[in-house]
Amino acid sequence: MNPKIVYFLGWVLLGWNCFFSHSLQAQKPEFTVAFYNLENLFDTVDSPDTDDAEFLPSSGWSQERYRKKLNQLSRVIDTLGTPSGPDFLGVCEAENRLVLEDLVSGSLLKNKGYKVIHEESSDPRGIDVGFLYKGSNFKVLSHQAFRLFMPDTQIVRTRDVLWVFGRTKEKDTIGFFVCHWPSRRGGERADRYRQYIASRIREISDSLAVLYPGATWLLMGDLNDEPSDRSVRLALGALAPQDSACHQKNWFNPMAAIQEKGDGTHAYQQKWHVLDQILLKCAGMPDAGYRILDGSATVYRPQWMQSRHEKYFGEPYRTYAGKNYLGGFSDHFPVYVKIQKR
């Protein structure tokens, strides 16, 4: 055969192979997973079972302010991660199911098809975690709230851990843990509580990974600790991107790279902290389930979500600063990752 023809056919085959490989990559299912601390999303109705006095009309929390808060949060979620919003969104600091239903039924989100999973927790202030998902992409098969008691007391001192398990339209199974760990207030005792919560979640997730082999597992939440802290790094077993191996009982934490850059989701005394995180469990075979796309872990912080105040310039434009009403979004920036089928 003429060498020129052989050379030409070689380039054709190489080009076809590249095109075919790219097409397969493009066809792999991909979803956006996000988490957002809503900063005290309360309605205006007095709940006798919780301490919601500071968010009642008698304290200045009006129906007008509530509606503005919903509109502000909707504006964020509308384009969070993608122009059409995230496929899966974990949230915390929501008073009840009603406020989440009001959120997804607002003008910006009502046509996106979000459904709500919520379980009432025993938090004394009445702030819960919740899970929003697009019903066109995901069918919930089971969900449960894990109520965790602290080791030195029989009193619940933290929010429940919400577990949601379901199947994508491609028949892949994915499980989500949505968390809001104990506050950083309380010093060493609060630190022990967060480590305990992390160890219990690790035990629960290990058991569920055995019960549902082949499923993908994601954990998201306001952990009130950073990727390098003991609760996340040791008790939960979360590995940073630079770690060489990801064993079955560990979690992969892409948010560690954000901490290394000095960025964050929440600012305290003008110092950034990565408290809001999304992690992937290193379970199953290397070629099974979903992976977090390299470099996709992002803190969502467009300028219109940032404070313009000189002292707090660039920090989250929040709803309240102490008792002063500002009318912003939240005191946390949301985070998101992209996951793709392996």
CATH number (domain holding residue 284): 3.60.10.10
Asked whether residue 11 is domain-assigned, the answer is no
Q: How far is CA 36 from the centre of its chain?
A: 6
Contact status, residue 15 vs residue 71, Cβ threshold 8 Å: no
Backbone angles phi, psi at 197, to 5 degrees: -60, -45
Q: What is the pLDDT of residues 191-220, one digit of tens each?
A: 888 999 999 999 999 999 999 988 999 999
Asked whether residue 237 is domain-assigned, the answer is yes
Asked whether residue 21 is domain-assigned, the answer is no
pLDDT range class, residue 21, cuts 50, 70, 90? very low
Select the more confidently predicted residue: 342 or 127. 127
Pairing of strands 173-180, 161-168: antiparallel
Task: Quote the percentage of the chain above a pLDDT of 70.
Answer: 86
Mean pLDDT lowest among 49-53, 223-227, 228-232: 49-53
Give the whole-angstrom CA distance, residue 196 versus residue 341. Answer: 32
Number of domains the chain contains: 1
Q: What is the pLDDT of residues 140-192, one digit of tens each?
A: 999 999 988 777 665 656 789 999 999 999 999 999 999 999 988 767 778 88
Average confidence (pLDDT) over 250-257: 94
Select the more confidently predicted residue: 129 or 310. 129
Mean pLDDT lowest among 21-25, 26-30, 176-180, 335-339: 21-25
Asked whether residue 138 is domain-assigned, the answer is yes
Contact status, residue 240 vs residue 300, Cβ threshold 8 Å: no
Give the whole-angstrom CA distance, residue 206 versus residue 218. Answer: 12
Give the whole-angstrom CA distance, residue 314 versus residue 304. Answer: 10
User: Taking Cα atoms as reference points, which of 329, 322, 321 lies closest to residue 304?
Assistant: 329
Give the whole-angstrom CA distance, residue 113 versus residue 84. Answer: 11
Given this model, what pLDDT does residue 282 score? 85
Asked whether residue 88 is domain-assigned, the answer is yes
Asked whether residue 89 is domain-assigned, the answer is yes
Asked whether residue 42 is domain-assigned, the answer is yes
Residue 272 has pLDDT above 70, yes or no: yes
User: Taking Cα atoms as reference points, which of 252, 332, 245, 248 lies closest to residue 292?
Assistant: 252
Asked whether residue 281 is domain-assigned, the answer is yes
Q: Which amino acid is at 86?
A: P
Contact status, residue 246 vs residue 61, Cβ threshold 8 Å: no
The residue with tokens 């991107």 is 241
Domain encompassing residue 141? 30-341
11 CB-side CA count, 13 A: 5
Give the whole-angstrom CA distance, residue 149 versus residue 91. Answer: 22
